[in-house]
Amino acid sequence: MDDLIFIGNNPKIFRDFKQAMIKEFEMTDIGLMTYYLGTEIEQGEDRIFVNQEKFAKEILKKLKMKDCAKVNTLVECEVKMSKNDEGDNINSTTFKSLVGSLRYLTCTRLDVLFRGRLVSRFINTPTITHFKALKRIL
């Protein structure tokens, strides 16, 4: 089973393409997309709204941060991070997983992009300082 998603703004091309696919392959049309890989899609006549709220909440729940306080800045200005930071090392597998989730959120949150790249520099030997920075972004 393979999924096919096609997008565009010309209804005639959609109909023609769908008919060509039905002739060539056994196919089921499930209609407009509403959810794809953690991204919720709401389509209207004149707009498409995309969000990852559910995905973001799942990440916060996994970290037991569901009721955490919100911050105005995603990075603390006074904190400088380096690969040689002192402090306890943390599980790099967990850190990598969280950085990957954070990077996935950049699909709808471009403000997270720079900050996600900042913490991803420390993916091989993360310390508690790096983990706190990651949690602050989330």
Q: How far is CA 6 from CA 10, 15, 28, 37, 41, in A?
A: 11, 11, 14, 15, 14
pLDDT score for 75: 73
pLDDT score for 74: 74
How many other C-beta atoms lie within 10 A of the C-beta of residue 37? 8
What's the rounded mean pLDDT across residues 59-84?
79
- Residues in contact with 128: Cβ distance below 8 Å, sequence separation at least 6, in sequence order: 87, 88, 90
pTM reported for the whole predicted model:
0.69
pLDDT score for 77: 67
The one-letter amino acid at 95? F
On whether the CB atoms of residues 35 and 41 are closer than 8 A, the answer is yes
Q: How confident is the model at residue 1 (pLDDT cuts 50, 70, 90)?
A: low
Q: How confident is the model at residue 16 (pLDDT cuts 50, 70, 90)?
A: very high
What's the pLDDT tens digit per position in 79-125? Answer: 777 777 777 888 888 889 888 888 888 877 888 888 888 888 888 88
User: What is the pLDDT of the chain when averaged over all its residues?
Assistant: 84
Looking at the chain, the whole-number percentage of residues with pLDDT higher than 90 is: 2
> How does strand 48-51 pair with strand 39-43?
antiparallel
Which helix (H) or strand (E) segment holds residue 49: the answer is strand 48-51
For the chain, domain boundaries: 11-50, 53-137
